[in-house]
Amino acid sequence: MLIVQDIRTQTKTWISTRTGTVPQGWRATPGTVVMKFGEQLHSSIISEYQWHYIDYDALKQCLKKATRPVQEASSSAASASAWTNDDEVEFVSLLDEQLDKVYSKTQVKTSEIQRRIMWEQKEVDALVKRMHERGPNEPGPSEEEFIAREEFLSDIIADVHDLAKFVQVNYTGFLKIVKKHDKVTNQHLKPIWGVMMSQKAFFKEDYDRDVVKLSRMYDVVRTRGNPIKGDSAAGGSQGSFVRQTTKYWVHKENITELKLIILKHLPVLVFNPKKEFEAEDAAITSIYYDNPDTWDLYEGRLKKTEGAEAIRLRWYGGMQNDQIFVERKTHREDWTGEQSVKARFSIKEKNVNAYMRGDLLPAALFEKARKDGKKSEKQIAEDQKLAQEIQWSILKKGYKPVCRSFYNRTAFQLPADARVRISLDTELTMVREDNLDGVKRSGDNWRRMDIGVDYPFSQLPPGDIEKFPFAVLEVKLQTQHGQEPPEWVRQLISSHLVEAVPKFSKFIHGTATLFPDRIKLLPFWMPQMDVDIRKPVMQNFGIRRPGQSPTSGTTSDDDDDEDDLDSDTDEGPGGPQHSGSNGRSALSGGQALNLADLENQTAEDIAPNEDYPLYDSDDEYDSEDALEESRRVGGWTYYSALGKSYARAAGRGLETAIKTLAPVPRASEVGPSNRQRMFFGGQELQTKKFKAPKGKKIYVPVRVEPKVYFAAERTFLGWLEFSIYIGTIAVTLLNFGTKPNATSFIVAGVFTLLAIMALCYSVGIYLYRSAAIRERRAAKFYDRWGPSVLCGALFIAVGLNFAFEGRDREIW
């Protein structure tokens, strides 16, 4: 993760944006290593596709006609006058040619993958049939046959991965070149381009269906024809359960790769294996409730107070689903000895409104369940108690629907085995459900009915919707105490594919972004929304083909000969380039997390917070483009920009030289702790101070246990005890001296004043700490100056007493 400073305003103020993009006019600080898209494209080339990528350099070269100096143009009225209609026709023709090239290759490769999947399905079915239908003396399939099928499936998985990367990088290239065209020519090609892309929408290919099919086959082959079977119902058997959950953000570019990696270890959890997979089956929608006047549930979940609750209604699939789950999440502090728990019960959609209004009591709600006898009396009693508590909270505290979350979930889990469950939520969208601001959304109903699962919900106004820019990965483990998670899970969460965001909540994020005028306390991850979470590719983790060495890749050998490519002044060096393997290395090739003595690690072993190349975003500062633009304007503007460019380069060189030659001790770097490795893996962490927008605060979670209160009280009592000792010394000097005099009175007064000051200081510190603990503020509880000042004053008082006493005894 790389965090930079806005040098335009010279501040570190985070500015909230509803779209998750950086503010307009954002500039990267000089020295930030940014990878240009041209370099990203060259380093991402795969050998099979090398002649079918977008010719980004040719398109940029075509746009050079719009950036030549004004004096060379036919008209000097404007800087864009160098771009003529003939140039526009030529550019659009070239752009359409490149689009057709990419689209044709995508269609051909997609059809090929589909045929290979269908053929492999027949082979796997035949292999399993031979194994289960063989006679007593007939040999079953050999181990070599299963290994061959597994390698073939791995090759198909690598093909899907490569195709997804090919589509992603080309789609990004088309978007960037169209934006660059509109910027340098002052002509708007984006509307026409939208029509062109709709006719050849190569980027809309959905790989979820392929992932499900590959997962089924790979699970059968991996288990040698004996996959684990069990209940995969979506919550039908889930009542109350406890899990250890960690959450991560995943960039859209890494979603398909992440799915393909996980399916090699866990199968996709299909709720109804007998039904053909449909996109609607992955949809999950939740309606969150809260009091829109006090926001009790929001603040409780944000602050993680003991007993904080979240109440939501959830359904799986489309709006026609009649089974609704009423859920309540309850947070428990660690010191209580209990675990946070999620409890839920099911209800028919036709009964939800009556239940929420209090017209339908829980006893009547579960009357049919008792008659059917499908559940035990104990389970029915627990569900009824839960229904009573939730209904009482809604009616007593005035909870109403405020926010909806929608996403498509791909869950990976062994059926009937919840020890390891991984879910990936994509297309995450939050929608307002309230009736505030005089707008009737849900009305008297428990949910709004003008939308369903029709992502991206284009019928909604911008103020009613918040589209989350990343996918959310949840790793849920049910391991015994002291038991480590599987090695492949540890490698996954420490890889370049994920960004750790502990305690991320869809409810908290949706409420904070959809109600900016009503929510003043923001979650701690809000400033991170403006940060590019992509990381450099790890060469020891990813997808690789069978027989491929851990350090090899699937890119063309021509990529290593980049010096032969035509250079472009707009594609200046942007830092070290990624290797062409794109992370398609063996999972087993990753180094295990070293949990040895961290003090033996030196700075040469670990380089924390080291800059790494990033892909440039649309709003990032491009010094080469800025210089080219100033050259087009000419005159003093160009010479000023050129001078600043040289000055920045010289300053960076001088700073590097000074740091290298400075005779200062070089400290050894200590690696991350075991706890940090557990939660964040091996990824880098950086500390940054953010300033919230005016009128808002960013809440940082603070863990408060009973021992913290006791520690504050013990410290206060320790100060009181020390103050009493000093006061006792003062009383002794004043009243029990052999010959009371002015010296004894002065020294006793100093000690008395010191005791009073210590008492007042201790009371103030105790009140400050107690308030910080109650309010869960991220305060500094250590005392840097108090003990030092007190000891110094006591030393002076004792020294004065010794000096005065020596003078009275005429020793000096």
- 506 has catalytic annotation: yes
Coil, strand or helix at 538: coil
Mean pLDDT is lowest, of 132-146, 227-241, 642-656, for: 227-241
- Is the residue at 728 inside a domain? yes
Last-in-domain residue among 477, 511, 530: 530
**Last residue in a domain, options 505, 530, 555:** 530
The predicted pLDDT at position 772 comes to 80
Mean pLDDT of 634-662: 77
Please report which confidence band the pLDDT of residue 311 belongs to, taking 50, 70 and 90 as the band edges: very high
DSSP characters for 245-303? EEEEEE-GGGHHHHHHHHTTTS-B--S-TTSPP-GGGGEEEEEEEE-TTT-HHHHHHHH
Q: Note the pTM of the prediction, 2 decimals.
A: 0.68
Question: For 28-32, 472-476, 692-696, which range has the lowest pLDDT when averaged over its residues?
Answer: 28-32
Q: In the prediction, which pLDDT does 572 show?
A: 36
pLDDT at 73 over 50: no
Report the DSSP beta bridge partners of residue 735: none
Q: How, if at all, do strands 499-500 and 244-250 pair?
A: antiparallel
Residue 446: what pLDDT? 92
Catalytic member of 506, 520, 644, 739: 506
Token representation of residue 131:
């194994």
Q: What is the CATH number of the domain that holds 513?
A: 3.20.100.30
**Does 97 map to a domain?**
no
What is the rounded distance in angstroms from the CA atom of residue 36 to the CA atom of residue 425? 29
Q: Is the pLDDT of residue 557 over 70?
A: no
If you average pLDDT over residues 111-124, what whole number do you get?
89
* Residue 41: predicted pLDDT: 79
pLDDT level of residue 577 (50, 70, 90 thresholds): very low
Output the six-digit token pair for 180.
């660059």
Give just the sign of the alpha carbon dihedral 753, 754, 755, 757: positive
> What is the maximum span of the chain, computed from C-alpha positions, in angstroms?
116
Summarize pLDDT for 593-643 with one digit per residue, the tens: 333 333 333 333 333 333 333 334 444 445 555 666 666 666 777 777 788
Q: Which of 112-116, 596-600, 614-618, 776-780 has the lowest mean pLDDT?
A: 596-600
What is the pLDDT at residue 414? Answer: 83
668 occurs within a structural domain:
no
Distance CA 103, CA 99 (A): 6
Q: How many domains does the chain have?
A: 2
Is 32 within a domain? no
> Is the Cβ–Cβ distance between 344 and 368 less than 8 Å?
no
Structure tokens at 634: 């000419």
Whether 407 is in a domain gets the answer yes
Residue 161: which of 277, 56, 257 has the closest Cα? 257
Residue 379 phi/psi, 5-degree rounding, is -65, -40
Provide the pLDDT for residue 671.
63
Q: Quote the tokens at residue 326.
A: 């009423």
- Structural domain boundaries, residue 456: 266-485+497-530
Q: What is the mean pLDDT of residues 449-455?
A: 87
- The reply to whether 122 falls in a domain is no
In a domain, 45, yes or no: no
CA separation for the pair 101, 95 (Å, rounded): 10
Distance CA 535, CA 537 (A): 6
* Residue 807: band (very low, low, confident or very high) from pLDDT cuts 50, 70, 90: confident
* Beta strands at 499-500 and 417-432: parallel, antiparallel or unpaired: unpaired
712: in domain: yes
